Amino acid sequence: MKVIQAYRFALDLTPAQERAVLAHAGAARVAHNWALAHVKAVMEQRAAECTYGVPDHLLTPAVGWSLPALRKAWNAAKTDVAPWWRECSKEAFNTGLDALARALKNWSDSRGGKRAGRSVGFPRFKSRRRTTPSVRFTTGTIRVEPDRKHVVLPRLGRLKLHESARKLARRLDNGAARIMSATVRRDGGRWHVCFTVEVERTERAPSRPDSVVGVDVGIKHLAVLSTGELVSNPRHLNVAQRRLRALGRAMSRKIGPDERTGRRPSKRWQRACARLGRAHARVAHLRNDGLHKLTTRLAREFGTIVVEDLHVAGMLRNRNLARHITDAGFGELRRQLTYKAEWNGGRLIIADRWYPSSKTCSGCGAVKTKLALSERTYTCQTCGLVLDRDLNAAYNLAASAADATTAGSGPVAGRGADRKTPLAGQVAVKRQPGTASAGQTGTVPPQGRTTDHVLTRAHIR
């Protein structure tokens, strides 16, 4: 099975190498800004000519938005725009032009209704101070040295790695991987190189291929599994809030930049800003590390993982819970499970967004009309079941895998439930898609359940 995988390593650059990388990142920014100004000038000129009544065949020729068209225009003007262009690799300028071509296409598709999701605005110019330095190499000499502690990139030469690249080197030596591109980027005050690699992965199978696990994600617990396991939420951002506030106050006392007067930031402000950036980067790294360990364990152990289709963007509109939701990383957890389940030979089932897993009794199937977020214990008025609401939701998610297996499809078919929840105490004689299959109205109570069910559903706590 061939997959596209990324390998990311920290770099230890010398001052001269760092200046060279910054020069390449600056070249990418210059090419991007020049091409954007050129496209905007032509668009505004054509719009003005249309208001004058100029015929279409006499309008100023339009500029192509594709990467080859932008590259052709840049090559014709680079001698005048950037006389120093020979000092940098052509890949640096290609990085900026490629970013603009993608941005213009996304904007055009969003306006034309070809792109789903939020509307995409028109591209903006990149600032030297606010833009993250980055440059991407797709051609030339890109390799890992035999000592596995150095990499070679075009024009930048031999760069030292902060850690060993043995995981990537082994695949390259065995012929099971091919480097497609390399991106050098500065994150959190550290330089990293990220290799995009085409990898030939061996076929794998989970340790328990016939087991099903339901996962209910939340804030109090990061994940509640239908096996009864409670995965605690480390709350990395909350833990770091005291230090982040102190660093933010320290930075506010320094002389920062002022765009209105053109004032440049002081060296002290820049150092304080770097300290704050490193603190935020540490929080992000801790969060990613925890999510990777959890998702890898689930994908390697269970054959079927059930998660819920959460509207995370809508959840973030709750100003009281937005910071806690982003700190938990609901969307990242599902993203990692999506590709790791495929890599390990498992299956990921996405339960419907409107499926009332928290309101449905896992014992008798009765559905409550309302269930406040403050009610942490689920009490069924029909059968008298008393159970933690998150564990009850995990049981229902695990049971919903039966419908997907019967239908022969990946995600649970249909909406799974109407927007309107049935009346309180109503028993689901015929379970909705996304719950237990038909004929399983009286499901086994939690006390008699097997521990082979694990599913993923995230409810705001």
**In whole angstroms, what is the distance from residue 32 CA to residue 102 CA?**
11
**In whole angstroms, what is the distance from residue 52 CA to residue 441 CA?**
71
**DSSP SS3 for 119:** coil
**DSSP SS3 for 109:** helix
H/E run at residue 11: strand 2-12
Residue 86, CB-side half-sphere exposure with 13 Å CA sphere: 3
- CB 50: neighbour CB atoms within 10 A? 12
- Is 332 an active-site residue? no
Sign of the dihedral defined by the CA atoms of residues 161, 167, 172, 174, in that order: positive
**Using the 8-state DSSP alphabet, how is residue 369 labeled?**
S
**In whole angstroms, what is the distance from residue 129 CA to residue 258 CA?**
12
- CB 273: neighbour CB atoms within 10 A? 19
Contacts of 431 (CB under 8 A, 6+ apart): 365, 403, 437, 438, 440, 441
**In whole angstroms, what is the distance from residue 86 CA to residue 82 CA?**
9
Looking at the DSSP bridge assignments, the partners of residue 7 are: 195
- Is 216 an active-site residue? yes
* Catalytic choice (301, 388, 390, 403): 390
Residue from 456, 307, 435, 454 nearest 364 by CA: 435
* Catalytic choice (216, 309, 327, 388): 216
**DSSP SS3 for 22:** helix
* Catalytic choice (308, 309, 352, 388): 308
**In whole angstroms, what is the distance from residue 271 CA to residue 268 CA?**
5
Tokens of residue 146, six digits = 């035999």
Tokens of residue 397, six digits = 């998610």
- Is 80 an active-site residue? no
On the 0-12 / 13-18 / 19+ scale of CB atoms within 10 A, 337 is buried
Residue from 333, 364, 334, 356 nearest 434 by CA: 356
Tokens of residue 316, six digits = 């973030």
Q: Max Cα separation, the chain?
A: 80
Tokens of residue 98, six digits = 């490629």
Q: Which residues are catalytic?
A: 216, 308, 390
